[in-house]
Amino acid sequence: MQGLQIFTHACLPTDDWKWYYRHMKTKSAIVGPAGISRRGFAKLGMAAAAVPSIVPRHVLGGDGFTPPSETITLGGVGIGGVGHGQLKGLAATGFKVIALCDVDDNHAKKTYDFFPQARRYRDFRELISSEGDKVDAVYCGTPDHTHAFVTLAALRAKKHVCCVKPLTRTVEECYLVCEEARKAGVATQVTASPHTNGSSCRIREIVKSGILGDIVEAHAWTRRPVWPQGMPDYPDFEDPVPSWLDWDLWLGPVEKRPFAKEWPKNHPIPKMSPEAWSGGAVYHPFNFRGWFEFGAGALGDMGCHWANTIYKALELGHPAMITANSTRCSSVAFPLASTVTFDYPARGNFPELRFIWYDGGIKPPTPKELGGAPMPKEGVMYVGTKGKMLVDMEKGDGIRILDPVLEEKAKSLPETIVRGGDIWKEWLDACKGGPKAGCNFDWALYITEFVLLGNLAVQTGGPVAFDPNTLHVTNNEKADALLRLKYHNGWSLRG
């Protein structure tokens, strides 16, 4: 069946970001006079000029914002993994990378080599304090368990912040980070697949048109994890910490535990995941995702991407109830596969909705309209009272409405939503006083909460009813206790 040819390039796997910066050109920098800070120079220029009030603030800059003509300087934290490609994308879009930070010199070498002029740090706190006003913005690409600490330090220093998804490791961290972002009044962005690109906007237009009727179900699935999950316990061995890695800084707020480099040869754990390709590392690099203490599992890795457009199209807020089923779940690691069901109340013109998440290779039942054709490995499906819409999130095959008559009607729908969708350009424009980025922290709170609460249902094996007003789970004491964590080694969210 031929679908609408609206491709989903913004929905590629998270470790492939080349499409973000391919064919882009770096913008030139305009630097202020010697002896005057970049932000001070922006403010001085505003104060000295007689500007009519009809000129928008972002045209000239202002407190916390930079004039469009000036380059935004960037410090990168967590640069050896996905940070490598994302920093290249940010630089190609117009940011000037002047400082870099990573706890692993070897893992970060390719990024250090790509930005040889950038000053280097091991501790993000030193980067922020030493760079001071020389850095306008901070990118965070560290493992999940340190996201909140990096972003809070940057926000409290009044830096613009972009953080990889999920925004935080716990719900308490998420709400605190968003509160601090509002206080700071800076530009923020999370790297979830955007709801502002062409394909996402088209999905939103189709949903809004009513062609599919009332949307009563949404389904999203991923083949991940591709890293180890299902571990019954921490490894019973340890390895010497290599000289190029600061293991204590990598652990950060997590209770100290021995470093373990790789699982022994022929150990079953690295091969347990359905499509394992991440290698044999125990924690670092990349494989932190499967551990409760360090990551957020497959839901945390891909859920923010897939849910972003679903939340926008269906105007979702806080779920009323969450339940989960999974393969065996230990006390230390996410299971090999799970399904998580989120129930939402009616909203405005939208009826009650059930949103079901699947990972570990599990998929929803194949719609009969497919005639036996396979479902995509990574996908989203909207189920309406009049029809269904299927989106292949991996191959970019386009949006398919599973009814020829409805599909033909959809082709004639006008474009009513302004297209955007470049994560880096949205953030750059916001840093210069333009519109908020599509996945600014206030918006990212909802999709971060989505993955974190879903994980609590998986982790505890019980239903989760979360009250966003009190920040408590009202029906599951174990889940309520996991909304917040005890931090170690002198680390604190309060600075």
Based on the fold, state whether residues 42 and 78 are members of the same structural domain. yes
- Measured CA to CA, the distance from residue 173 to residue 165 in angstroms comes to 13
Range 105-129 average pLDDT: 98
Residue 329 pLDDT greater than 70, yes or no: yes
**CATH code at position 376:** 3.30.360.10
Percentage of the residues of the chain whose pLDDT score is greater than 90? 81
- Measured CA to CA, the distance from residue 393 to residue 402 in angstroms comes to 16
DSSP 3-state percent helix, strand, coil across the chain (nearest 5): 35, 15, 50
User: Given pLDDT bands bounded at 50, 70 and 90, which one contains residue 396?
Assistant: low
Based on the fold, state whether residues 128 and 58 are members of the same structural domain. yes
User: Given pLDDT bands bounded at 50, 70 and 90, which one contains residue 37?
Assistant: very low
Based on the fold, state whether residues 183 and 204 are members of the same structural domain. no
Number of domains in the chain: 2
Sheet holding 353-359: strands in order across?
321-326, 338-344, 353-359, 215-221, 379-384, 388-392, 399-401
Q: Which of 41-55, 202-216, 225-239, 328-342 has the lowest mean pLDDT?
A: 41-55
**CATH code at position 44:** 3.40.50.720
pLDDT tens digits, 80-116: 999 999 999 999 999 999 999 999 999 999 999 999 9
* Residue 5 maps to a domain: no
CB proximity list for 105: less than 8 A, separation 6 or greater: 112, 244, 245
- Measured CA to CA, the distance from residue 326 to residue 360 in angstroms comes to 10
* Residue 89 maps to a domain: yes
Based on the fold, state whether residues 366 and 337 are members of the same structural domain. yes
Based on the fold, state whether residues 476 and 363 are members of the same structural domain. yes
Contact present, 145 and 173 (Cβ < 8 Å): no
Residues found in the chain: 495
Residue 3 pLDDT greater than 60, yes or no: no
CB proximity list for 136: less than 8 A, separation 6 or greater: 38, 39, 66, 72, 73, 74, 159, 160, 431
Range 267-279 average pLDDT: 81
Q: Which residues on adjacent β-strands are paired with residue 204?
A: none
- Residue numbers of the domain that contains 210: 198-225+296-420+446-481
On average, the pLDDT of the chain sits at 88
* Residue 304 maps to a domain: yes
Based on the fold, state whether residues 208 and 137 are members of the same structural domain. no
* Residue 440 maps to a domain: no
Instruction: Please report, in angstroms and rounded to a whole number, the separation of the first and last CA atoms in the chain.
Output: 56
Based on the fold, state whether residues 180 and 211 are members of the same structural domain. no
User: How many degrees, rounded to 5, is the angle at CA 128 between CA 124 and CA 130?
Assistant: 110
pLDDT tens digits, 216-254: 999 999 999 999 999 999 999 999 999 999 999 999 999
Based on the fold, state whether residues 202 and 95 are members of the same structural domain. no
Q: What is the pTM of this model?
A: 0.87
User: Given pLDDT bands bounded at 50, 70 and 90, which one contains residue 50?
Assistant: very low
Select from 131, 154, 143 the least CA-distant residue to 104: 143
* Residue 410 maps to a domain: yes
Based on the fold, state whether residues 156 and 57 are members of the same structural domain. yes
* Residue 467 maps to a domain: yes
Strands 399-401 and 466-467, bridge-based pairing? unpaired
Based on the fold, state whether residues 454 and 335 are members of the same structural domain. yes
pLDDT for the residue 397: 59
* Residue 50 maps to a domain: yes
CB proximity list for 50: less than 8 A, separation 6 or greater: none
In the chain, the amino acid numbered 129 is S
Q: Which of 221-225, 275-279, 309-313 has the lowest mean pLDDT?
A: 275-279
Residue 387 pLDDT greater than 90, yes or no: yes
Based on the fold, state whether residues 185 and 207 are members of the same structural domain. no
SS3 of residue 396 by DSSP: coil
Say how many C-beta atoms besides its own lie within 10 A of residue 331's C-beta.
8
pLDDT for the residue 398: 85
